[in-house]
Structures are given as C-alpha cells and as structure tokens.
Amino acid sequence: MMRPSGRFPLSLGYAGAACALAAAILCGLYFGDVRMSFAEMFDVLTLGPLAHPGEAFKHGVVWRIRMPRVIVSCISGAVLAAGGVIFQAVLKNPLAEPYTLGVSSGAAFGASCAILVGHGWITPAAFLGCAVSLAAVLFIGWRGAQSDLSGIILAGVIVGNIFGAGMTLMKAVAGDKVSAIVIWLMGSFSAAGWHDVIPLLMSLLVVLSLCLIYYNELDIFASESDAASLGINVTAARTILLAGTSLAVSFVVSRFGVIGFVGLIVPHFLRSLFGPAHRGLLMTSLLGGAALLSAADTAAKTWNEMPAGVLTVLVGGPIFCFILWKRK
Amino acid sequence: MEAKIAVLSVEKVSVDIQGTRILHEISFGAGTGEVLVLLGPNGCGKSTLIKTILGLCGKVSGSVSFRGRDISPHNRKKQALTFAYMPQNTASHSSFTVLETVVMGRYPHLEIFGAYTKRDFEIARDAIIRTGLSGFEGRIMASLSGGEAATVALARSLAQDTPVILLDEPMSSLDPGHAFAVADVIKELADSGKLLIVSMHDVNMALNHSDRLILLKNGRIFGDMPAAQADRDILAGLYGIPWEIWRTPKGHIAAIPDRD
C-alpha cells in the first residue's frame, strides 16, 4: 500500500514498541531499593521463580516483588492504551479515553466508601462502582437515538459528575481517612503482587479479543464512513466494544486507582507516527502502553514511591500538548 | 447493454420520523441497468426513501424486496452485499488515506476476522481510477476538498461491488466538469448491469443523465416517467415555479426556471 508522507513503516512501530517494552521491563526489574548488578539480576532471572538459591533475598526481591509489579504495570498500560484507541474510534472523539463512560468516578466513589467504612474491601467496592456507573451510562445513553453518540458521551459526563460529587462528599466526611482516599485516587502499583496477575490477564484477554475481532469495524467508525450501510450492526458493535473495554479497564482501576493519560497519549503519539489503521495501531498501543506505564512505575518507585498516576499525568500532559501543537 | 430485468420492488412504503409522516405509500419497481433519478424539492423525502431502501430508516408499513425477497434490516451484511450507498454528507476529517478509505468498501466481502486482500486493494485502486482520482491514493482524507471527498465516497461505493448503488446527491459539491465525469461513471455502471438510484437537485443533470425520473413532492410520488417525458408543466407542478425547456442542437435538454 502507498504510504503517505509523514508516516513511518508499521514494522518500525512494532520493533520500536517491542524494544521500548523490553527496556522498560529490564529497568523495572533492575531499579529499586535493593541494589544489585545486571549480572546478579540475570543470574537470579535464569534460576526461575521456583528456585531456592543461596542468595534467597535477591531472588525474592526480583521474583516476588519486582517481577509481579512489572507484569501488572505492563498489562495495565496495555489495557489502558488499547482501551483509549477503542474509545476514540467508537466515539469518534479524539479526547475520548477508557474512563469516558465514568468508570473512574464510579471506582473512586466505591473505593472511597470502602475506605470510609474501613472493612478493607476496597477493590470489590471500586469494581462495583465501575459496574454501576457503566450500567447507568449504557442504560441512559442508549435509551434515546442509538445512532447518536452524543447521548452516551453526555451520559458518561453526567454519571461521572454524580459519582465525583459523591466521592467529594465521602472525602468531606472521611476525617483522618481522607489521606487514604487521596492516595488511592492517585493510582499506584506499590501493592501489586502475583495474585493480581490473573485478573489483569483476563482484562487483557478481553481487550485483545476486541482488538482482533473488531479492528476493521474500528477503522470504519474512525473514518467517519456510514458504518451501517457497509454492513456493520452499529449498535451491537458499539455496545460490545464500549462495555467490554470499560469492564476490562475496571479491573485495572478498581485495583490500582485512576491512572490517567495512558489511554490518550499512547494512541495519539503512535497514530501520528504510523497512521490510523487499527490493526497496527492497536497492537503497537498494547506494546507502547505496556512500556510507558511500566517505565512510569519504575520512575515513580525510584522517586520516593510516588504514585505512578501522578507521573503519567505530569509527563504525559506536556507531551500531549506538544503532539497537539505539532499537529497541522 | 443488458436487457432490463426488474429486481427492486418498493411496495406501499410509509415512513414516520419523530411522529411526522415523511413518506406516504411509495411504490415503484426498478430493473438492472437502469439509472433512476429521484427529483423533488427540499424535504420531499428523497434521502429518506434511499435510507428506507437501505433499511437505515424504520418503515411504518410496506415492503422493499430485491429479486422477489424481502430485505431484512437485521441482516446488515446481506444488505451491504446488495446495496452500496453514498451519503449526502461525505466530508471527512479522518487521517486515513484515500486508498485506505476506498478499500473499506470491501468490508462486506470480508470473512470473519479477515483482512483486506491484494484483490481487495486491486478493486479499490480500480475504483479510484474509474472515478478520476488517480494520484490521490496516498492523500489524507482531511486534506481533500468537499468535491474530492464526495468522489472518494463514490469510489468506495464502486469498490463495494453491489448490484444496486444508491447515491444521495452525488454531484451537489462538484463543479460541472467533475459532475459530468460522475455522470459518465453512473452511465458506465448502468451499462454493466447495475441499478443506480440517484437523488438530485440539478434538473438538467436529471433530465440528461437518467433513464427514468421518480418525482417526489411532500412525501408522495408526483410522477414516474422516462426522463424525456418531463415537460415544463410537470416541473412547474413539482417545484411551484414556471420552467422553460428546450433542446440544444446536439439533442441535450436544457431547463431553466422562467420567472417574471
């Protein structure tokens, strides 16, 4: 296919994103409070997770603490970035991100309630908040004209604001627990462990399936073509894509808090380099999102265990502004 | 040219939109190799009729059948393999290229999980050449003029390769030269056996480049006739203003509103 000027070959995108991901994983395993050389790290890695070596401490640091954290941040980044691509195409809105249907506000409200009550069920409560907000947005948004995307975006904004107000109320009455709510809201992987990997793999599987099944439909949605006349059951496809992606993102948000900008900056950056075709954009975004969030988490953890969500916004915001400024 | 065989039948179709009746018991049939032009004033129901045939507008009563079988609006893929559609609004701000956009017309032909094949890209390139867009393959859609974007939409309809093509005001944003080029493409498609249903506002184009006119007024059929039979009284009745019609030395029909 003829390549327009300004676009780089997709193979370069795959190679670049894969290299970035490999580098981010290695940095994530190398950097941390316990110092070790690269040689020591590779020695520990080659022993495998089930070995009981003499240097048990460093083996434990790499395999029990750093490795699950790296895997979890990679999967979360992949889900958020690919989710951003899907939302921007389905809603035909470059500002859409995986939280557009209000799942972040729902999760924040649920988590705030759990922190306030103090029973420790933060993740289930946050997930319940996600599910309730998603159901409310789909019910309200699809009730009117089903071809009207503004309905679902408005429903997302309204439901998000209602849950946001509820969360502010929780913070107002939280007393000394308000700091726990604020820290949760910032988003962090500091508590990640192997037990988080399976639920996150499920969410990755959902997003990956949507990517592989619907990449042609996403092209048609994003190209502003009349999707129904090309044979797409528009309402069904939109509902599956939005609900599936939101649910997958809910796994990430409910466990690790609101991590912003990954779903915006990765798709926009890669689209500007390699074009809008979703077959390549989704796959490079999965890799690029994984690399970005893993790198952000490594930087955050070496910087006094700062929440990764703060770093993604602090770094991502200016980069996103630069991409917008460069766009002709 | 192939003999015309009746393929499309629209029977007593009525359509309501938000409680207002837009089409009243519309009935007509159309055959292969025919260029059927829908003509009428703004708001007469041309676009609604096209969308109803496509199954994009829910009808209150009546039926649309192709080769004797009802077209179910629920089987979108089958519809897309029967009808190609060029909408009225074709402006695009997308960053896809012209070739990427045109090949999307091949979507109904894809197998499940399938990707566009070399053959699909060949068909798309052929559609681009036929519509006079050679050299535009790598251009970004957002960089095109309104007329160029409309021509890309036409090329995508061609790439869809269906027996029926519905075009909603395909020439409204084109200069006379490009409008004639599109008229030639329409004739070429009809000569290859396809049925073309085209809505228009340009009376001269309609009179000179169609086999048959369906005149719509206030959601009802005002007339259904060969283009050559449309006279100034019919046009005056349709638009509510006087018309003058004459033939040029080369046999073309020229019609202009002739108000005092």
**CATH number (domain holding residue B211):** 3.40.50.300
Determine the number of helices (DSSP H) and then strands (DSSP E) in chain A: 13, 0
Contact call for B92 and A224, based on CB within 8 A: yes
A71 within a domain of the structure (yes/no): yes
A4 within a domain of the structure (yes/no): no
> What's residue A53's pLDDT?
61
Out of A212, A229, A271, closest to residue B56 by CB:
A229
The CA distance from A203 to A72, in Å, is 11
Q: Which of A317, A168, A193, A206 has its CA nearest to residue A256?
A: A193
> What's residue B1's pLDDT?
46
A174 within a domain of the structure (yes/no): yes
Contact call for B141 and A223, based on CB within 8 A: yes
Tokens 């049925």 belong to residue:
B195
B12 within a domain of the structure (yes/no): yes
pLDDT confidence bin for A35, thresholds 50/70/90: confident
| Mean pLDDT of the region A165-174 | 91
A145, pLDDT greater than 60:
no
Question: Does residue A14 or residue B91 have the better pLDDT?
Answer: A14
Contact call for B92 and A223, based on CB within 8 A: yes
Per the structure, the complete domain to which residue A112 belongs is given by 10-326
C-alpha dist (Å) from residue A6 to A9, A188, A328, B95, B105: 10, 36, 12, 11, 25
Please tell me what DSSP assigns to residue B61: E
Query: CATH number of the domain that A16 lies in?
Result: 1.10.3470.10
Contact call for B104 and A220, based on CB within 8 A: yes
Low-confidence ranges of chain B (pLDDT < 70): 1-4
Q: Provide the number of structural domains found in chain A.
A: 1
Check CB contact of A224 with chain B, cutoff 8 Å: yes
B209 within a domain of the structure (yes/no): yes
> What's residue A311's pLDDT?
86
Instruction: Write b or e for each residue in B177-192: b if 16 or more Cβ atoms lie within 10 A of its Cβ, otherwise e.
Output: ebbebbbebbeebbee
Q: What is the pLDDT of residues A74-111, one digit of tens each?
A: 999 999 999 999 999 999 888 888 888 888 899 889 98
Shortest distance between the Cα of A183 and any Cα of chain B, in A, equals 39
Sheet order of strands, B220-226 included: B83-86, B164-168, B195-200, B35-39, B212-217, B220-226
Whether the Cβ atoms of residue B128 and residue B99 lie closer than 8 Å to each other: yes
Count of A–B CB contacts within 8 Å?
Answer: 82
Per the structure, the complete domain to which residue B186 belongs is given by 6-89+126-133+165-229
Instruction: Give the rounded percent of residues in chain A with a pLDDT score beyond 70.
Output: 94
A3 within a domain of the structure (yes/no): no
Contact call for A216 and B115, based on CB within 8 A: yes
Contact call for B54 and A271, based on CB within 8 A: no
A233, pLDDT greater than 60:
yes
B150 within a domain of the structure (yes/no): no
pTM of the entire structure?
A: 0.90
Beta strands in chain B (DSSP E): 6-17, 20-31, 35-39, 61-66, 69-70, 83-86, 164-168, 195-200, 212-217, 220-226, 243-247, 253-257
**Direct distance between the N- and C-terminal alpha carbons of chain B, in angstroms, rounded to an integer:** 44
Cα B178–Cα B183–Cα B187 angle in degrees, nearest 5? 145
Interface predicted TM-score (ipTM)? 0.90
> What's residue B19's pLDDT?
85
Question: Does residue A58 or residue A236 have the better pLDDT?
Answer: A236
Beta strands in chain A (DSSP E): none
A1, pLDDT greater than 70:
no
Using an 8 Å CB-CB cutoff, list chain B residues near A226: 85, 87
What does chain A come to in residues? 328
A138, pLDDT greater than 90:
no
Instruction: Write b or e for each residue in A59-76: b if 16 or more Cβ atoms lie within 10 A of its Cβ, otherwise e.
Output: bebbbebbbbbbbbbbbb
Tokens 């999965």 belong to residue:
A286
A154 within a domain of the structure (yes/no): yes
> What's residue A142's pLDDT?
75
pLDDT confidence bin for A187, thresholds 50/70/90: confident
Contact call for A219 and B100, based on CB within 8 A: yes
Check CB contact of A271 with chain B, cutoff 8 Å: yes
> What's residue B57's pLDDT?
84
Coil, strand or helix at A167: helix
> What's residue B131's pLDDT?
94
Q: Provide the number of structural domains found in chain B.
A: 1
Q: What is the pLDDT of residues A277-297, one digit of tens each?
A: 999 999 999 999 999 999 999
Probe site for chain A from B104, B120, B166 (most A CB atoms < 10 A): B104
A118 within a domain of the structure (yes/no): yes
A80 within a domain of the structure (yes/no): yes
Using an 8 Å CB-CB cutoff, list chain A residues near B100: 1, 219, 223, 275, 277
Probe site for chain B from A88, A216, A229 (most B CB atoms < 10 A): A229
The token pair at A44 is 């520990």
Instruction: Give the rounded percent of residues in chain A with a pLDDT score beyond 90.
Output: 48
B31 within a domain of the structure (yes/no): yes
pLDDT confidence bin for A327, thresholds 50/70/90: low
Segment holding A186, helix H or strand E: helix A178-186
